[in-house]
Amino acid sequence: MTSTLPADLVVIGWGKGGKTLAAKAAAAGRRVVMVERDEAMVGGACINVACIPTKALVHSAAERRPEDDPETYLAESLRRRDSLVEQLNAANRAMLEGNAHVTVVMGEAEFVGPRRVSVGAGGERLEIDAAAVVINTGSAPRPGGVPGADLPHVHDSISIQRIDHLPGRLVVVGAGAVGLEFAEMFAGFGSDVTLLSRGAALAGEDDDVRASVLSALADSGITVVDGVEVTEVTAATVETTGGSFEADTVLFAIGRVPAVPAGLEAAGVDVDERGFIVVDDSLRTSAENVWAVGDVNGGPQFTYISLDDYRIVGSQLLGDGGRSRTDRLAVPTTTFVTPPLSSVGLTERQARERGLNVRVAAKPVARLAMVPRPKTLGETRGIAKVVVDADTDQVLGFAHHGVDSQEVVNLVALAMRTGITASELRDGIWVHLSSTELLNELLAALA
């Protein structure tokens, strides 16, 4: 039996952009239907399996003392993580389920026509007719794709979070942000970690920044092997083009693939050669009144980008339609190794390759005499680097491997977006003690 439900807006997937849009549309009096296929993903990947739980574990691993029993400490850390996720999941559920303008439907969504979504199984189905549809179904870890990648001791970034023991020898395949963070995490918990990279790990960074991060990884006991490709996983080894590596646990962290809903052809929604939904700068798909937000549209895979996707679509559904992806300037990123690595804009290498006239300053954190905060925390590893246009005094890029870098980079990104000059940042009055003070000393050293 099939029943029909009319809606002003149906959102498929409970991720950051979609849930925020659903709540705002409901507050404006729209009839909203939220469709989510997985009870464990209510609230989206960020709060359940990605940003928040992983950063909680990275922090916990960094706090482990030598006298803490590794197995016991890991188990306690996982319990604390589970408690946090449970609280966040419940809060997100209440945000929409408690709203009179929102209908929550659990199940697999499938397009059966333009802006017509079917949910259910067997003889019981619900078809939702919507004036507007937002696809917010996210992405999934890319499978290992080699013989042995389906063995029980082989994991992706989600399944390894449910591990019930501490790996003795962990091999992480992939040196992107996810691979680096999990390598750091398990090294902190007490695993012997080897990180395998197809190319050079952190190849996108300038050599001095890359060297700083690699040195810190080595301090953590992580062995980084560049230029190898995995050919097979066995019960006890990872076989590569550069040799064999012993492992009782393997993590593939080699990127993500789109998790699109079924029936896109029936909806008139196009995908690209990678399978991501094609959108324009307003996040409109090829189908009328259908948008795609978050990872599934092939953009940068960050929660804060998904939130900005909400602003773009929300401006069309609830505002003046004036916002688009072209408004995104100087988007910062952070990889939560210890200490964290943050950056925004161009590297020195990129700026010089473009033929720009630049001034550059770089200093190891330990040599920043005017910045005592890292010393008070006992964490002076790292480097700070800035690239400035010599003709305009505008900041072109900034990298900071060090304490609080995830906070400092936000200020620099704001300066870049709003036209604040390097000289103004250099002469800024910043709280003492703070890592932001490094801008005074670093920018004074521009050459």
Burial of 378 (0-12, 13-18, 19+ CB in 10 A): exposed
pLDDT attached to residue 122: 65
Q: Mean of the pLDDT values across residues 342-363?
A: 98
> 63 and 82 share a domain?
yes
For the chain, what is the largest distance between any 2 Cα atoms, rounded to a whole number of angstroms? Answer: 73
> 400 and 288 share a domain?
no
Q: What is the pLDDT of residues 119-164, one digit of tens each?
A: 986 678 999 999 999 999 999 999 999 999 999 999 999 999 999 9
Q: Count Cα neighbours of 60 within 13 Å in the Cβ-side half-sphere.
A: 23
> 346 and 400 share a domain?
yes
193: amino acid identity, one letter: V
pLDDT attached to residue 231: 98
Domain total of the chain: 3
Q: What is the pLDDT of residues 398-432, one digit of tens each?
A: 999 999 999 999 999 999 999 999 999 999 999 99
> Residue 434: phi, psi to the nearest 5?
-155, 155
Contact predicate 444/425, CB 8 Å: no
Q: How far apart are CA 334 and CA 342, in angstroms?
A: 4
> 233 and 270 share a domain?
no
Q: Mean of the pLDDT values across residues 330-353?
A: 98
Q: What is the pLDDT of residues 77-136, one digit of tens each?
A: 999 999 999 999 999 999 999 899 999 999 999 999 999 999 986 678 999 999 999 999
| Terminal alpha carbon distance of the chain | 73
pLDDT exceeds 80 at position 27: yes
Q: How far apart are CA 52 and CA 74, in angstroms?
A: 17
Please indicate, yes or no, if residue 148 is contained in any of the structural domains. Answer: no
Please indicate, yes or no, if residue 229 is contained in any of the structural domains. Answer: yes
Please indicate, yes or no, if residue 160 is contained in any of the structural domains. Answer: yes
Q: How far apart are CA 240 and CA 281, in angstroms?
A: 41
pLDDT attached to residue 121: 65
Pairing mode, strands 32-36 and 2-12: parallel
Domain boundary among the residues 213, 233, 254 is at 254
> 160 and 130 share a domain?
no
Domain boundary among the residues 201, 230, 254 is at 254
Q: Where are the beta strands (DSSP E) in 236-357?
A: 237-240, 243-246, 249-252, 256-258, 290-292, 333-335, 341-345
Please indicate, yes or no, if residue 406 is contained in any of the structural domains. Answer: yes
> 247 and 183 share a domain?
yes
Confidence of residue 286 (pLDDT cuts 50, 70, 90): very high
> 126 and 268 share a domain?
yes
Evaluated on CA atoms 205, 210, 214, 217, the torsion sign reads negative
> 68 and 175 share a domain?
no
My answer on whether omega of the bond before 339 falls inside 30° of 0, hence cis, is yes
Q: Which domain holds residue 294?
A: 2-141+257-327
> 200 and 118 share a domain?
no
Question: What sections of 174-332 are H helices per DSSP?
Answer: 177-189, 207-219, 264-267, 303-317
pLDDT attached to residue 142: 98
Please indicate, yes or no, if residue 147 is contained in any of the structural domains. Answer: no
The token pair at 75 is 């188990």
Please indicate, yes or no, if residue 146 is contained in any of the structural domains. Answer: no
Question: What sections of 318-437 are H helices per DSSP?
Answer: 348-353, 373-377, 405-418, 422-426
Domain boundary among the residues 327, 355, 371 is at 327
> 280 and 192 share a domain?
no
> Residue 23: phi, psi to the nearest 5?
-65, -40
Please indicate, yes or no, if residue 291 is contained in any of the structural domains. Answer: yes
> 267 and 383 share a domain?
no
Q: What is the pLDDT of residues 206-257, one digit of tens each?
A: 999 999 999 999 999 999 999 999 999 999 999 999 999 999 999 999 999 9
Share of the chain above pLDDT 70, in %: 100
**CATH number of the domain enclosing 371:** 3.30.390.30
Please indicate, yes or no, if residue 149 is contained in any of the structural domains. Answer: no
pLDDT attached to residue 447: 84
- Residues annotated as catalytic are 432
List b or e across 212-221, with b for residues whose CB sees 16 or more CB atoms inside 10 angstroms.
Answer: bbbebbeebe
> 353 and 434 share a domain?
yes
**CATH number of the domain enclosing 162:** 3.50.50.60
**Beta bridge pairs of residue 276:** none
